[in-house]
Structure 1
Amino acid sequence: MTTRRMTVSQALIEFLAHQWTVDGEIRERTVPGVFGIFGHGNVAGIGQALKQYSEVDPHAMPYHQARNEQAMVHQSVGYARMRRRRATYASAASVGPGATNMLTGAALATTNRLPALLLPSDTFATRVSDPVLQQLELPHDTSITVNDAFRPLSRFFDRVDRPEKLFSTALSAMRVLLDPVETGAVTISLPEDVQAEALDVPVEFLQDREWHIRRPLPERAPLERAIAAIRRARRPLIVAGGGVIYSGAEKILSELAEKTGIPVGTTQAGGGSLHWEHPQNLGAIGATGSTASNRLAAEADVIIGVGTRYSDFTTASRTAFQNPNVVFININVASFDAYKHGTQLPIIADAREALAALLEELGGYRVDPNYAATSAREKDAWNNTVSASFGPSGLPIPGQPEIIGAVLGASDPTDVVVCAAGSLPGDLHKLWRTRDALGYHVEYAFSCMGYEIAGGIGVRRAAPERDVIVMVGDGSYLMLNTELVTAVAEGIKVIVVLIQNHGYASIGHLSEDVGSQRFGTKYRYLESTVEAHSFDGERILPVDLAANARGYGLDVIEVEPAEDAIEQLRAAVARAKESTGSTLIHINSDPLIFAPDGEGWWDVPVAEVSAMESTRDAREAYRAHRGEQKPFLG
């Protein structure tokens, strides 16, 4: 066997450079680059390997800087989602805090079922210098390091504590990374001494290797049972989830909906499954859904879930589907999701393949004309509601719906809107009129504050031909804005629309709903007296986030409060789109102007007893909603 003498890090980097994903006729690099922040744990290992390849073969495995380890993973996830899970970046961190900074990113990747390859450094495998700087010591188990925290957050975890383990670990990691069922955070823990150790590496390990994406076909018997249930249905409804996007099933879904007349509601991850003007597209479903989707969901007798994991927002905390005899047909590549809600009609298959089979077998089937008319009527009513929410109001400080409408109106169909946390995801889910399958990118499985900017940069890396519009509130911006420096350093253009409402608008609204009057959700000076200790005063902090972004080197456009604020915003987006560099647009918003009610509910428990009347009133409303929850078996 021909071998080469290399360090573990050199072998791993060269191995990754030769991994290819094949999905039908598409073939692309599985890992096109590595993000890295170096410290004593990896500077002589992964750092040295990346430096060496930057000189020997600069395009083999490009290195990219990052400013925060969590943000590295967010970039990887943003890229992976835009590439429909065919590719992702690797993220390398040093020992201790560098590694643990990635934990939130790992949880986000796994929760969203999106691939991210994590390479956290670990303490000495030999313990020759035990304990080292930044090492966690637990007397009851000295084998535990901080990297063990990745175990419950990762779909795959292994520690390369011997050089010879690299081969099996790397191959197993790639298998999980590209498996539609198992994908998520894939973590290879690399002790700092082992990273620099040499071994004889088989040349075969370093050659091109292809990983073919599995697209399992539906089994005949489950398919026939599902078809029979659909044909018996009087009010069927499709719930389109992220699996539609990842499998590239949006065209076949469109054809199925058109030919059968079955209406479609979309989850957050499924945004873009259908063009917003598609006759059967009723828009968002669930807690942040439209009245159109939610009213039809309430009476539906058959729910056809396609690539959805049925989160509590999708099911409106199990209040969305009110028909006592509702039947679930769950199409999912993962049996874990296909069997949810106690269904007896799971179809464990790729979304595109399953929808194609349904289309073929449902020839001649069409929903009742009265049901189709109801669907069309509800769609038109909701579209009118959305249009009305876009204004114009003429308010000097507009509400978020009007801001969304202005940004939407100034955007192009192929632009990608990116968001993750706060009140924006719910408002975007209801209001954003998606015109492209990849045009709606809201991370809502983990709804991680701070994802927006880093994730948006990852999206732009994946689709440099598209404009990326990151919509973010001031609370989420303050969580993780430093990756803007990465955008400037690499000339990666993103447009950031920063909505300033001086606090947490989403939780403020929720706080009112549960009877706590926006406690702790305003950015104000501390009012500390004998009578009170709170941040509920009216003295707004003098924080200048526009100046912060300007200090990073971005172009900044500040929309001043005025009657023409919305016109200013439209012009600002148009100007930012014409620019070749990154732009931040700063606009103030009124957090008390809400998006239209879509008649969805979210289960957030309210205190059962309280000295506060507002909380007692909220508890009564909560009890009424709880009475509408359905005890599905799964």
Structure 2
Amino acid sequence: MSKTKMTVGQAVVKFLNQQYIEFDGVEQPFVDGIFTIFGHGMVVGLGQALDEDPGRLRVYQGRNEQGMAHAAISYAKQHNRRKIIACSSSIGPGAANMVTAALTASINHIPLLLFPSDSFATRQPDPVLQQMEVSHDLSITASDCFKPVSKYWDRISRPEQLMPALINAFRVLTDTADCGAVCISLPQDVQGESFEYPDYFFQKRVHHISRRGADAYEVEKAVELIKSAKKPILISGGGVRYSEAGETVMKFASEFNIPVSQTQAGHSALPDSFELSVGGIGVTGGLAANALCKDADLVIGVGTRFNDFVTGSKWVLFRNPDIKILAINTSEFHAEKLDATRCVGDAKVTLEQIYDALKADGYKSGYTNEIQEIREVWEKERLSVLGVQYHGEGFGEGKFVPCVPSWTEKIMNDFVNDIGGTITESNAVGILREEIDDDAIVVAAAGSLPADLERLWVTDAKDTYNMEYGASCMGYEIAGALGSKLAAPEQEVYALVGDGSFMMLNSEIPTAIQENAKITVVVFDNTAFGCINNLQMGNGVGSLATEMRHRNEETGKLDGKYCYTDFGKVGEGYGMKAFYAKTPEEFRKAVQDAKKETGSCIIDAKVLPKTMAEGYESWWHIGVASTSKSEKVQEARKRLDQYISEARMY
């Protein structure tokens, strides 16, 4: 058996170069490169290996460990989980910065390979710079923080341990049912230690993504369940996107006359113009899907994990007391949720299995004109909300977030006086949709934008909607735009980000500029954590520490003038081209001008608070105080208790 002596760092790099993935007969390298922020923990270990012989791996320079890992998540998502960028960091704070990204990846089932550096395996010297000491257990380091948020975790304390660790890491990274963050912790001394690795360890490895069909028994039960349903509704989740099953879903729905709703992760897997598409569902969904759920007697969940936003906290989808759930998923865990009839298998293959049996039996749903009628009603409402503009005299038609009118009026008046913006959030979304390319990719994550986008954004271009809404992680947006651009360099990419999220994490802008990867960052500046401000005020709580206002010397509270931030100058400081907008006309012009630029741009848009679209026949379960002196809070609690009494419990 031939062997080659090399360091652990060198072995990692050589192994990554030999990993390939095969899906539907197409084979390609799996690992494109590695994001890194060099620190003492790995610059002369793994860093030495990357400098000496990176192979085909491209080394990307991150600016913030969380940001670069979020970019890697978005890159993998844009490639439908079939290509990744690994991430490496130093020990201590560098490693801990990636924990949030690991959480985001695991919640969303996106493959993310992390190599945080670690303290010395020999414990000599001890403690080293940035080492966290735990007096009752000296084996614990910052890398242990990854354990609860990783799908696989390992620490390499001896060079030979690297072999089973990496093999298991790629087993998980290519597991369609349970992929997520994988953490291989590399003690800084071990990175430089040598071992005679067998050459077969570095042979080309092709990881086949299989399309496993469901068990015949489960298919039979699924067919029986659908045949008994008169008004089923299908939920197309992220699994449909990653399975490339959009056309299969449309064929299935068309044959059996079943309406198709989409989750945030599933959006853009099939065209919104599809005649049976009824848009987003649940808390951030629109009127069409949620209205059809009232009378639905069967929910067919395909590739969804049924989170509370999708199910309307188990209220919207469950009005019919006799409703049944069918879950098609590669994950047994997700297929068992909601006491569902499970059908464990690939979305595309499993739907084809069920299709053949249903067609042979001549099945059709009981819908007549309901689907088209509600689509027409919703389209009229959607266009109305997109077109709403502020003229100082209210908004006319269109539904917006509920709030006490006097509060809303004061907030808007203060904003106009202090900031000067009169753009409504929904109108800005509409203008963007009209002006940008049909195949442009939009990236968002947190706040009110995910709701406005799922309700109002329509696209027929495949895989152009990149929403991180499993973790709803503020700060994903700009890094995510970078990841999407690296994955799809020929397409325009837009990061739609609130002012709060922009302030949390904008560090990867310099990396985008460094890589000549044009992204356009659109800052929706309503000088607030607006979504949460709506939530607190809509449930009887005052506006506390959610608006970005100066401290009022008279009241001692944060209720003074709004804080004006020039986001354009922040972008210019990084090297972006800045555009400004306070009116719809200025915003449209800014979008048009930014589109003409070849480099990264930022649009600083001053957007009126309280102008995001309101929920449509949905409900979100949150912990409203059960005891309060406030009548408004008491009223909110009564509403909550009523909803809870109607919700199904699993």
Q: Given the two structures, how large is their TM-score scaled by the length of structure 2?
A: 0.93
CA-based RMSD of the aligned residues comes to 1.3
CA contact (8 A) 1:487 1:493 kept: yes
In the other structure, the counterpart of 1:615 is 633
Q: How many residues align?
A: 618
Q: Note the 1:374-413 alignment, pairs <5 A.
A: 374-391=370-387, 393=389, 395=391, 397-413=422-438
Answer yes or no: is 1:487 the counterpart of 2:512: yes
Q: Give the AA of the match of 2:162.
A: L
Answer yes or no: is 1:37 the counterpart of 2:60: no
Mapped to 2, the partners of 1:587 and 1:217 lie a distance apart of 48
User: Equivalent of 2:290, from 291, 294, 303?
Assistant: 294
In the other structure, the counterpart of 1:360 is 356
In the other structure, the counterpart of 1:23 is 23
Q: CA deviation at 1:528?
A: 4.6
CA contact (8 A) 1:234 1:367 kept: yes
Mapped to 2, the partners of 1:542 and 1:417 lie a distance apart of 26
1:452-473 CA distance string (max 9 Å, x none): 0001110111111211111001
Q: CA deviation at 1:206?
A: 1.8
In the other structure, the counterpart of 2:73 is 77
Mapped to 2, the partners of 1:155 and 1:65 lie a distance apart of 26
CA contact (8 A) 2:498 2:525 kept: yes
User: Equivalent of 1:533, from 529, 534, 556?
Assistant: 556
Mapped to 1, the partners of 2:601 and 2:614 lie a distance apart of 30
Secondary structure in 2 aligned to 1:367? coil
Secondary structure in 2 aligned to 1:576? helix
Answer yes or no: is 1:184 the counterpart of 2:209: no
CA contact (8 A) 1:418 1:470 kept: yes
In the other structure, the counterpart of 2:141 is 145
Q: CA deviation at 1:122?
A: 0.2
CA contact (8 A) 1:179 1:214 kept: no
CA contact (8 A) 1:53 1:61 kept: no
Q: CA deviation at 1:228?
A: 1.4
Q: Give the AA of the match of 1:505.
A: G
In the other structure, the counterpart of 1:584 is 602
Q: CA deviation at 1:416?
A: 1.0
Mapped to 2, the partners of 1:20 and 1:494 lie a distance apart of 29
| CA pair 614-533 structure 1, distance change in 2 beyond 3 A | farther
Q: Give the AA of the match of 1:179.
A: D
Mapped to 2, the partners of 1:606 and 1:120 lie a distance apart of 39
In the other structure, the counterpart of 1:97 is 93
In the other structure, the counterpart of 1:228 is 224
Q: CA deviation at 1:568?
A: 2.7
Mapped to 1, the partners of 2:389 and 2:161 lie a distance apart of 64
User: Equivalent of 1:445, from 470, 476, 480?
Assistant: 470
Secondary structure in 1 aligned to 2:443? strand
Give ranges in structure 2 of 5+ residues lacking alignment.
392-420
Q: Alignment identity in percent? A: 39
In the other structure, the counterpart of 1:502 is 527
Q: Note the 1:589-604 alignment, pairs <5 A.
A: 589-604=607-622
Q: Give the AA of the match of 1:407.
A: L
CA contact (8 A) 2:527 2:564 kept: no
CA contact (8 A) 2:118 2:186 kept: yes
Q: Note the 1:517-596 alignment, pairs <5 A.
A: 517-529=542-554, 532-537=555-560, 539-559=561-581, 561=582, 565-596=583-614
Give ranges in structure 1 of 5+ residues lacking alignment.
none
User: Equivalent of 2:310, from 285, 302, 314?
Assistant: 314
User: Equivalent of 1:332, from 329, 334, 355?
Assistant: 329
Q: CA deviation at 1:207?
A: 2.3
CA contact (8 A) 1:330 1:346 kept: yes
Q: CA deviation at 1:61?
A: 1.3
In the other structure, the counterpart of 1:267 is 263
Moved more, 494-503 or 568-577: 568-577
CA contact (8 A) 2:116 2:186 kept: yes
Secondary structure in 2 aligned to 1:89? strand
Q: CA deviation at 1:151?
A: 0.6
User: Equivalent of 1:467, from 467, 478, 492?
Assistant: 492
Mapped to 1, the partners of 2:91 and 2:225 lie a distance apart of 55
Secondary structure in 2 aligned to 1:315? helix
Mapped to 2, the partners of 1:598 and 1:250 lie a distance apart of 25
CA contact (8 A) 1:71 1:483 kept: yes
Q: Give the AA of the match of 1:252.
A: T
Answer yes or no: is 1:628 the counterpart of 2:625: no
Q: Given the two structures, how large is their TM-score scaled by the length of structure 1?
A: 0.96
Q: CA deviation at 1:435?
A: 1.6
Q: Give the AA of the match of 1:76.
A: A
Secondary structure in 1 aligned to 2:278? strand
CA contact (8 A) 1:386 1:596 kept: no
Secondary structure in 2 aligned to 1:586? strand
CA contact (8 A) 1:507 1:518 kept: no
CA contact (8 A) 1:241 1:269 kept: yes
In the other structure, the counterpart of 2:60 is 64
Secondary structure in 2 aligned to 1:110? helix
Q: CA deviation at 1:182?
A: 1.9
